[in-house]
C-alpha cells in the first residue's frame, strides 16, 4: 500500500485531472481484517485519497452492520446501482446510485455494480437486495445522460463475461472491473474493460485525451506493476506499521514445521487437489470424527506457495482469514454426488466453490454435460453408496448455502455452528499436535480432461520496470507524450486509475 501511494502521487503530479477507483473486495479477507473488520483498509484508502469505490462480495463478510460502520468512516464515495436497501429501495447505506465528477470541465459519470451472487457468497443479511446488474446499469446510465455526463465509467465487481455483456448493452467508455484475481483486459466496441488483479500487484492506468466538447480524441491503458523498486510513501508506511504492530507479537508465534512447500495458489486450489487442501480437509475430518470432509477452495486464501520451514500462527490466519466455524451434516451418497457435481460445474475454470476433500476420491470430466461430470466416487476403495448416510465435516459458510450449495443448507445438522470449533483453530491444533507436517496430493481429485481459458490472461513475465503498455491499445491513436500533457491546447488529458486489493 505504501508503494501504491507513491505511484498514485506520481500519477496525480503528471496528470492533474485524475480519478482513483476501487472495484471492491477490500474489507476482507486478510489476517488483519479477521481482527479489525477492515478498519485498517478504510484508513489507508482515506489517507491515499481514493475517489470512489463499489462493493465486492467480500465487503459483506462481516455482515451489513460492520459494512455500514466502514462506510461512515470513508472519506471517499461508495457507488452502487444495484445493491439496495429492501425497505427503502435506495442504495445500501450512504452509497450513491451514481456520481458525476467534473475533471477539467469534462463531466465524468460513474456508477458501481456488484454481482448478485454475493447473496450466497457472503453475509449481506435479509435486508440487502441485489438487483440485476444490467438493469441497475441501465437506470444509472439514463440518469447520468440526464446529468450531462460526457464520459461513462462503470466500476464493477463481477466476472469478465458479465462485464462484456454490459459493454455490448450500454454506451460505456470504460469498465474498471474487479472479482477475478488475475490482471485482465478486453475491448468491446468503444468500451475498454480492465481488471487490476488482486493483492495490490498492479495499478491500472487509463488515459483519455478529450476535446472541449467531450469527444474522445485518443486513449490508452496499461498495467503498472507495484514492485520493490518503488519507494514507500512515508505517511502510508507509518499507517501500515501502526496496524500491523498491533497483531505481530501474537501472530509471529511458531506452531510447527512443514517439511514440504504448501500450495495455496488460488489457481490450483480452485481447479485441482492440492496438498494444502488435503491438510485442511483432513484436519476437519479428524477433529470432528466424521466419515468425510469438504472444504470450499474460496475459503482458503493468500494465493502463494508457502516454502518449507517454520509455520506461524500468522501463516494459518493468512490461509483461513474468514471467521468460519466447523460443523457436521449428514448426507446420503446421492446428496454428496450432487454436491460434487456443483463443485465441478464450472470446471476447468476457477471457482471458489470447488471442493477440497478428505475420506474419499472422485473422478470428473469437464467435457461432459453439466450435472453428469462426476464419473466415479470411491469411499474407502468402494463405490459410493447412493443410499447410505455419511457424516460430513464442512464449515458454517457452506452450511448456510454459500457458493450456491443448497444441498448443505437442506441437510440434517449433527453439529451446529453454535457448538462447533473455529476452522482456524482446527488447523492450528492439527499442526501443533503433529509438530512436523508433510501433506501431499494423493489422487483424491482426478480430472480426465481440460479446456482452455474463456479469455486470455495478461503475460505477467513481460510486466517489467520499463513501464510499458500492456494489453491492447484502443483503436484511436495514442497521444505521443511520456508525461501525459495535452498535445495541444484543444485537448484535455484525463487519467482514470484503478487498484485491486
Residue 451 lies in a domain: no
pLDDT at residue 472 in the model:
27
pLDDT in tens, 136-172: 999 999 999 999 999 999 999 999 999 999 999 999 9
Residue 247 lies in a domain: no
What distance in Å separates the CA atoms of residue 220 and residue 469, rounded to the nearest whole number? Answer: 8
Is residue 54 within 8 Å of residue 346, measured between CB atoms?
A: no
Residue 159 lies in a domain: yes
Residue 227 lies in a domain: yes
Is the pLDDT reported for residue 476 higher than 60?
Answer: no
Statement to judge: residues 62 and 148 lie in one domain: yes
3-state secondary structure of 353: coil
pLDDT at residue 234 in the model:
98
pLDDT at residue 452 in the model:
41
What distance in Å separates the CA atoms of residue 401 and residue 117, rounded to the nearest whole number? Answer: 11
Statement to judge: residues 31 and 130 lie in one domain: yes
DSSP state of 422: B
Percent of the chain with pLDDT over 70: 92
Statement to judge: residues 181 and 326 lie in one domain: no
Is the pLDDT reported for residue 35 higher than 60?
Answer: yes
pLDDT in tens, 224-260: 999 999 999 999 999 999 998 888 877 888 999 999 9
pLDDT at residue 347 in the model:
87
Residue 482 lies in a domain: yes
pLDDT at residue 490 in the model:
62
Q: Could you give the number of structural domains in the chain?
A: 2
Statement to judge: residues 207 and 356 lie in one domain: no
Range of the domain at 12: 2-233+466-499
| 222: β partners | 205
Statement to judge: residues 410 and 492 lie in one domain: no
What distance in Å separates the CA atoms of residue 293 and residue 301, rounded to the nearest whole number? Answer: 19
Q: What is the mean pLDDT of the chain?
A: 89
What distance in Å separates the CA atoms of residue 419 and residue 412, rounded to the nearest whole number? Answer: 15
Is residue 102 within 8 Å of residue 17, measured between CB atoms?
A: no
Average pLDDT over residues 386-407: 96
pLDDT at residue 493 in the model:
79
> Given 400, 424, 439, which residue is the final one in a domain?
439
- pLDDT category at 296 given cuts 50, 70, 90 is very high
Is the pLDDT reported for residue 488 higher than 50?
Answer: no
| 376: β partners | 363
Which is more confident, 147 or 456?
A: 147
Q: Residue 292 CB: number of other CB atoms within 10 A?
A: 19
pLDDT at residue 270 in the model:
96
3-state secondary structure of 373: coil
Statement to judge: residues 191 and 285 lie in one domain: no
Is the pLDDT reported for residue 193 higher than 70?
Answer: yes
Statement to judge: residues 155 and 289 lie in one domain: no
35, burial (CB in 10 Å: exposed 0-12, middle 13-18, buried 19+): middle
What distance in Å separates the CA atoms of residue 476 and residue 66, rounded to the nearest whole number? Answer: 44
Statement to judge: residues 300 and 394 lie in one domain: yes
pLDDT in tens, 4-13: 999 999 999 9
For residue 313, report the phi and psi dihedrals to the nearest 5 degrees. Answer: -55, -40
What distance in Å separates the CA atoms of residue 327 and residue 330, rounded to the nearest whole number? Answer: 10
What distance in Å separates the CA atoms of residue 314 and residue 311, rounded to the nearest whole number? Answer: 8
Is the pLDDT reported for residue 468 higher than 90?
Answer: no
Statement to judge: residues 152 and 7 lie in one domain: yes
pLDDT at residue 471 in the model:
31
Residue 240 lies in a domain: no
Average pLDDT over residues 417-434: 91
Is the pLDDT reported for residue 336 higher than 80?
Answer: yes
Statement to judge: residues 192 and 335 lie in one domain: no
CATH number for the domain that contains residue 279: 3.90.780.10
Is the pLDDT reported for residue 333 higher than 60?
Answer: yes
| Sheet with 445-447, edge to edge strand ranges | 382-383, 374-379, 360-364, 445-447
List b or e across 79-92, with b for residues whose CB sees 16 or more CB atoms inside 10 angstroms: bbbbbbeeeeeebb
Is the pLDDT reported for residue 15 higher than 70?
Answer: yes
Which is more confident, 466 or 207?
A: 207
Q: Note the maximum CA span of the chain.
A: 77
pLDDT at residue 329 in the model:
98
Is the pLDDT reported for residue 297 higher than 60?
Answer: yes
pLDDT at residue 150 in the model:
97
What distance in Å separates the CA atoms of residue 179 and residue 172, rounded to the nearest whole number? Answer: 19
Q: Cell 453439529, residue?
A: 415
Average pLDDT over residues 331-357: 95
Lowest-confidence pick of 81-90, 350-359, 486-495: 486-495
| 176: β partners | 155, 194
What the block records as the C-alpha cell of 80 is 452502487
Statement to judge: residues 189 and 287 lie in one domain: no
Dihedral (C-alpha) 243, 249, 251, 256: value to the nearest 10 degrees?
Answer: 160
Q: Is 25 left (phi over 0), alpha (psi -120 to 50) or beta?
A: left
What the block records as the C-alpha cell of 190 is 468503444
Is the pLDDT reported for residue 261 higher than 90?
Answer: yes
Is residue 152 within 8 Å of residue 106, measured between CB atoms?
A: no
Dihedral (C-alpha) 225, 226, 230, 235: value to the nearest 10 degrees?
Answer: 150
pLDDT at residue 306 in the model:
96
Q: Residue 61 CB: number of other CB atoms within 10 A?
A: 25
Statement to judge: residues 286 and 190 lie in one domain: no
pLDDT in tens, 301-315: 999 999 999 999 999
| Sheet with 77-78, edge to edge strand ranges | 77-78, 52-53, 18-22, 492-499, 202-210, 216-225
pLDDT at residue 151 in the model:
97
Residue 255 lies in a domain: no
Q: Residue 254 CB: number of other CB atoms within 10 A?
A: 13
Percent of the chain with pLDDT over 90: 78
What distance in Å separates the CA atoms of residue 121 and residue 119, rounded to the nearest whole number? Answer: 6
Amino acid at each position: 500500500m505504501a508503494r501504491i501511494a507513491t505511484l498514485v502521487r506520481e500519477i496525480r503530479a503528471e496528470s492533474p485531472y485524475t480519478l482513483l477507483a476501487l472495484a471492491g473486495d477490500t474489507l476482507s479477507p486478510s489476517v488483519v481484517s479477521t481482527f479489525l473488520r477492515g478498519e485498517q483498509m478504510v484508513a489507508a484508502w482515506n489517507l491515499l485519497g481514493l475517489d470512489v469505490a463499489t462493493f465486492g462480495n467480500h465487503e459483506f463478510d462481516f455482515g451489513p452492520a460492520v459494512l455500514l460502520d466502514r462506510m461512515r468512516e470513508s472519506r471517499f464515495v461508495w457507488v452502487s446501482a444495484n445493491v439496495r436497501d429492501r425497505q427503502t429501495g435506495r442504495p445500501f447505506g450512504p452509497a450513491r446510485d451514481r456520481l458525476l465528477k467534473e475533471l477539467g470541465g469534462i463531466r465524468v459519470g460513474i456508477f458501481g455494480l456488484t454481482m448478485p451472487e454475493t447473496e450466497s457468497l457472503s453475509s449481506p443479511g435479509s435486508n440487502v437486495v441485489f438487483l440485476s446488474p444490467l438493469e441497475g446499469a441501465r437506470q444509472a446510465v439514463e440518469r447520468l445522460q440526464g446529468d450531462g455526463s460526457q464520459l461513462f465509467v462503470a466500476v464493477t465487481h463481477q466476472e469478465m463475461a458479465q462485464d462484456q455483456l454490459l459493454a455490448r448493452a450500454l454506451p460505456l467508455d470504460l469498465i474498471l472491473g474487479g472479482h477475478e484475481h488475475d490482471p485482465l483486459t478486453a475491448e468491446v466496441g468503444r468500451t475498454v474493460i480492465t481488471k487490476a488483479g488482486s493483492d495490490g500487484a498492479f495499478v491500472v492506468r487509463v488515459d483519455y485525451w478529450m476535446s472541449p466538447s467531450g469527444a474522445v480524441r485518443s486513449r490508452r491503458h496499461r498495467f503498472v506493476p507495484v514492485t520493490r523498486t518503488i519507494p514507500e510513501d512515508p505517511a502510508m508506511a507509518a499507517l501500515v506499521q501502526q496496524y500491523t504492530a498491533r497483531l505481530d507479537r501474537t501472530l509471529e508465534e511458531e506452531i510447527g514445521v512443514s517439511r514440504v512447500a504448501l500450495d495455496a495458489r488460488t489457481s490450483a486450489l480452485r481447479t485441482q487437489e492440492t496438498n494444502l487442501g488435503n491438510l485442511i480437509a483432513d484436519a476437519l475430518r479428524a477433529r470432528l470424527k466424521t466419515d468425510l470432509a469438504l472444504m470450499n477452495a474460496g475459503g482458503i486464501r493468500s494465493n502463494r506457495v508457502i516454502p518449507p520451514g517454520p509455520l506461524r500462527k500468522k501463516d494459518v490466519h493468512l490461509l483461513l482469514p474468514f471467521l468460519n466455524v466447523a460443523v457436521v451434516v449428514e448426507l446420503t451418497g446421492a446428496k454428496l454426488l450432487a454436491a460434487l457435481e456443483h463443485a465441478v460445474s464450472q470446471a476447468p475454470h476457477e471457482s471458489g466453490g470447488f471442493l477440497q476433500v478428505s475420506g474419499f476420491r472422485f473422478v470428473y470430466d469437464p467435457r461432459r454435460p453439466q450435472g453428469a461430470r462426476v464419473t466415479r466416487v470411491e469411499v474407502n476403495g468402494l463405490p459410493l453408496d447412493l443410499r447410505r448416510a455419511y457424516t460430513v465435516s464442512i464449515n458454517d459458510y457452506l452450511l448456510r448455502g454459500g457458493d450456491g450449495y443448497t444441498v448443505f443448507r437442506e441437510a440434517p445438522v449433527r453439529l451446529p455452528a453454535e457448538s462447533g470449533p473455529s476452522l482456524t483453530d482446527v488447523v492450528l491444533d492439527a499442526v501443533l499436535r503433529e509438530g512436523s507436517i508433510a501433506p501431499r496430493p494423493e489422487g483424491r481429485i482426478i480430472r480426465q480432461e481440460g479446456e482452455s481459458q474463456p479469455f486470455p490472461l495478461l503475460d505477467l513475465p513481460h510486466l517489467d520496470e520499463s513501464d510499458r503498455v500492456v494489453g491492447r491499445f484502443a483503436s484511436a491513436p495514442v497521444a505521443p507524450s511520456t508525461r501525459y500533457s495535452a498535445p495541444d491546447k484543444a485537448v484535455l488529458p484525463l487519467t482514470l486509475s484503478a487498484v485491486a486489493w
